[in-house]
Structure 1
Amino acid sequence: MNTMETWIAEVCAELGIDLADQKATTAQVLDLTKDVAHGVARPAAPVTAFLVGLAAARTDDPDAAVADLCTRLAARASGWSGEG
């Protein structure tokens, strides 16, 4: 396990989260935050990841929600012009 995987495992244990597919979810969120940081603004990246987590937690299938939200928001960030 690398440092990030160890940290994520410790955070999940602390928060009582059973992250079944940690590597896939981690990769999806990292890709999303990269796209948001480069396409929107750096400070928007962690906030976006937080919001994805909140939204996913409110669904019946959080894993699927994370995948869907990451895909949709990454596309939005890559084409974002700063106009609503």
Structure 2
Amino acid sequence: MSEWVTAVCRELGLEGAVDTDASVDMVLDMTSDVAHGVSRPAAPVTAFLVGLAAGRADDPVVAARDYAEKVTGLAEGWDSDSERGVPAGDQEQRG
């Protein structure tokens, strides 16, 4: 996997922009939580969405980590019997 990630980073011009080992662990942990808490097909789509959102941030590496934590929390409570709080994207409902 390490060789693949290194090759992809090189191909996409991301050499030195990310800590590949930490990024791989973060993505695998997050997608595992989504696959088990939501659905397997949601996992790669979620990883794409987090990457897309992080790429728009001032510091994509920090944003990716923050977004992965948010998504993990969302996935962990996805099928809970209790009502969810304010939806993550509903800015009008937030204080």
Q: What is the TM-score normalised by the length of structure 2? A: 0.79
Q: Number of aligned residue pairs: give it.
A: 81
C-alpha separation in 2, matches of 1:14 and 1:53: 16
Deviations 1:27-71 (A, max 9, x none): 111100000000000000000000011000001101110110111
C-alpha separation in 1, matches of 2:6 and 2:30: 20
Structure 1 window deviating more from structure 2 (19-28 vs 52-61): it is 19-28
Tell me how large the CA RMSD over aligned residues is: 1.7
Match of 1:72 in 2: 70
C-alpha separation in 2, matches of 1:27 and 1:58: 22
C-alpha separation in 2, matches of 1:20 and 1:72: 20
C-alpha separation in 2, matches of 1:72 and 1:31: 13
One-letter amino acid of the structure 2 residue matched with residue 22 of structure 1: T
More RCO (CA 8 Å, sep 6+): 1
List, as ranges, runs of 4+ consecutive aligned residues in structure 1 with deviation greater than 6 Å: none
C-alpha separation in 1, matches of 2:42 and 2:68: 14
Answer yes or no: is 1:8 the counterpart of 2:23: no
Could you tell me how far 1:81 is from its partner in structure 2? 2.2
Percent identity over paired residues? 53
Could you tell me how far 1:20 is from its partner in structure 2? 2.9
- The runs of 5 or more residues in structure 2 that have no matched partner are 88-95
One-letter amino acid of the structure 2 residue matched with residue 17 of structure 1: L
